[in-house]
Amino acid sequence: MSVIPLTSLDLVLAASLVLALGLVVIRLRLGVAGSLWWSATRMAIQLLLVGLILEKLFATRSPWWVALMAFVMLAIAGREVQARQKKRFARGGSYLIGTSSMMVSSFTITLFALNAVIDVDPWYTPQYAIPVLGMLLGNTMTGVALACERLTSLAA
């Protein structure tokens, strides 16, 4: 797999978009400049940390590390589903329902995509498995959160 190199100019161009948005926010006096600055700073730190983790993970090519990363991603997505609920099931039921729903659907489709569609060898190659699972978890997380919200609002 070839690596797409990012130059300093690429990073400056990406940062300039956030800077331009900040200038528009200040110019229009929208009152969210502080929030934008904090969000951009947090995003940069998160991307740096995730990049460092993925760099090590991509170098190991171990199915155990890929599985650990997959379950960490699932746990975070499950927590996000639970956090989006106004009303929750008792004793962590929202977390259990949301996480198990995402696990069954996302993991099944990821395995199918890696083996039948992308045809990666080995199927647990981190450069493919982690991004595919991440995209599927992101999409199913929204659907599961909406379904749980609807279910709890009807049950009350």
d(CA 58, CA 66): 9
Over the stretch 50-81, which tens digit does the pLDDT of each residue have?
999 999 998 988 899 999 999 999 999 999 98
Q: Read off the tokens for 71.
A: 């379950």
How many CB atoms within 10 Å of residue 110? 21
pTM (2 decimals)?
Answer: 0.76
d(CA 103, CA 61): 22
State residue 61 phi and psi, 5-degree precision: 55, 35
Over the stretch 90-129, which tens digit does the pLDDT of each residue have?
777 778 888 999 999 999 999 999 999 998 889 999 999 9
Q: DSSP 3-state assignment of 109? A: helix
Alpha helices in 61-125 (DSSP H): 63-83, 93-112
Average pLDDT estimate for 37-57: 92
d(CA 47, CA 51): 6
Average pLDDT estimate for 33-54: 91
Q: Read off the tokens for 141.
A: 């997380």
Question: What does the domain layout of the chain look like in residue ranges?
Answer: 1-60, 61-156
